[in-house]
């Protein structure tokens, strides 16, 4: 099928998928004739893209038209675009390929989304939720295998904690580790990872601990350091949400009388039930009401950032508010 819709917040994974598609369908010697990258959020460019994809291939290879940041699946287009889309999708030649990419989830209620779902290969490139450490660990193993790099279980766990759901950083860190490890056939160990890998997620977890314990000055220092090191504000919030979610589930289940550690770990998204011992130590002086009260504030923080708030200012304000919860 010559139509593709790639969506999701994982821009690095989308970029890799786009590069793979380009490599599969285009002849590098005929790129200037058969490859077109257009701004998909402009109606006239969408029409231009639909016209280009119907143009016969020139020379060797196939034709690829890429509509970047399309909004066809987020807002209702005018009637002309919808009509042109409906006419074009069903008759695109097999030698032409139409690619649409967007960071936002398609709105299934729109006719354009329904139309694209009928004719396109739709791929979801959403980021793995930071609390689903088992899926992140699986991604670490998969990328390490791609790079032919062996890792000990401890190294996989440390990379999972250090990199989180940042696909770009994972690839970069594993590339660095591969170069350092060279032709060594032994699995790369925890100590080497600890020495070479930047651990932003760990600092975000330290931030969560400082907020939980009401250490305002420490929390403000940690968040300022993270922002100064270009850690995305929404990623910081995602890690905080994941950590407080885990703590809340563990605390509530234990208070309800559940003692099955495996059941608690599964519900809380904890890959290794043995971690519950350490979590219990962390929560020794924390009550469930305090944990529950943090979640609405974290959602307010996420909303403020997504609607254009100044990252450091918004984070600092809400972190002070969170530290005062008791």
Helix then strand count (H, E) for the chain reads 16, 5
54 and 92 in contact (C-beta within 8 Å)? yes
Q: What b-and-e string marks burial along 83-114, b requiring 16 or more CB atoms within 10 Å of the CB?
A: ebbeebbeebeeebbbbbbbeeebeeebebbe
d(CA 293, CA 83): 49
Q: Please tell us whether the domain made up of 200-323 is placed in CATH 1.20.272.10.
A: yes
- Output the pLDDT for position 113: 93
Question: Which three-class secondary structure state does DSSP give residue 151?
Answer: strand
- Output the pLDDT for position 310: 87
Please enumerate in sequence order all residues whose Cβ is within 8 A of that of 185, keeping only pairs 6 or more positions apart, or say none: 150
Please, how many CA atoms are within 13 Å of residue 248, restricted to the half-sphere of its CB?
16
78 and 44 in contact (C-beta within 8 Å)? no
Please enumerate in sequence order all residues whose Cβ is within 8 A of that of 129, keeping only pairs 6 or more positions apart, or say none: 135, 165, 238, 242
Query: Tens digit of pLDDT for each residue in 157-205?
Result: 889 878 888 898 899 999 999 999 988 889 988 888 888 887 666 678 7
- Output the pLDDT for position 219: 93
- Output the pLDDT for position 229: 78
- Output the pLDDT for position 124: 93
- Output the pLDDT for position 1: 63
- The CATH architecture one would assign to domain 133-196 is Orthogonal Bundle (1.10)
Please enumerate in sequence order all residues whose Cβ is within 8 A of that of 225, keeping only pairs 6 or more positions apart, or say none: 203
- For the chain, the structural domain boundaries read 3-124, 133-196, 200-323
- Output the pLDDT for position 53: 94
Q: How far is CA 230 from the centre of its chain?
A: 16
Please, how many CA atoms are within 13 Å of residue 30, restricted to the half-sphere of its CB?
12
What is the distance between the terminal CA atoms of the chain, rounded to a whole angstrom?
57
Polymer length in residues for the chain: 326
- The CATH architecture one would assign to domain 3-124 is 3-Layer(aba) Sandwich (3.40)
Regions in the chain scoring below 70 on pLDDT: 1, 131, 199-202, 271-272
**Residue 39 CB: number of other CB atoms within 10 A?**
14
Query: Tens digit of pLDDT for each residue in 272-284?
Result: 677 788 888 888 8
- Output the pLDDT for position 270: 78
């Amino acid at each position: 099928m010559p139509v593709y819709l790639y969506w999701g917040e994982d821009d690095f994974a989308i970029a890799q998928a786009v590069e793979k598609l380009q490599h599969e369908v285009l002849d590098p010697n005929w790129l200037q004739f058969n490859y077109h990258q257009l701004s998909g959020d402009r109606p006239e460019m969408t029409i231009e893209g639909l016209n280009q994809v119907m143009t016969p291939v020139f020379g060797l290879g196939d034709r690829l038209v890429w509509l970047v940041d399309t909004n066809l699946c987020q807002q209702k287009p005018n009637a002309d675009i919808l009509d042109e889309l409906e006419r074009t999708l069903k008759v695109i030649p097999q030698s032409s390929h139409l690619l649409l990419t967007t960071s936002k989830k398609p709105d299934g209620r729109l006719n354009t989304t329904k139309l694209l779902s009928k004719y396109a290969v739709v791929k979801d490139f959403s980021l793995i939720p930071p609390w689903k450490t088992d899926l992140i660990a699986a991604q670490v193993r998969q990328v390490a295998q791609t790079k032919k790099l062996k890792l000990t279980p401890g190294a996989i766990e440390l990379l999972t904690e250090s990199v989180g759901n940042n696909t770009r950083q994972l690839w970069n860190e594993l590339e660095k580790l591969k170069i350092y490890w060279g032709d060594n056939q032994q699995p790369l160990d925890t100590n080497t990872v600890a020495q070479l890998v930047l651990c932003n997620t760990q600092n975000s977890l330290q931030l969560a601990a400082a907020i939980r314990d009401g250490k305002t000055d420490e929390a403000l220092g940690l968040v300022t350091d993270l922002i100064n090191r270009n850690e995305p504000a929404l990623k910081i919030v995602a890690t905080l949400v994941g950590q407080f979610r885990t703590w809340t589930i563990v605390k509530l289940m234990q208070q309800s009388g559940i003692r099955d550690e495996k059941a608690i770990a599964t519900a809380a998204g904890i890959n290794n039930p043995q971690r519950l011992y350490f979590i219990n130590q962390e929560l020794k002086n924390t009550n469930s009401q305090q944990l529950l009260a943090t979640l609405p504030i974290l959602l307010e923080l996420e909303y403020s950032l997504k609607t254009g708030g100044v990252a450091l200012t918004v984070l600092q304000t809400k972190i002070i508010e969170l530290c005062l919860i008791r």
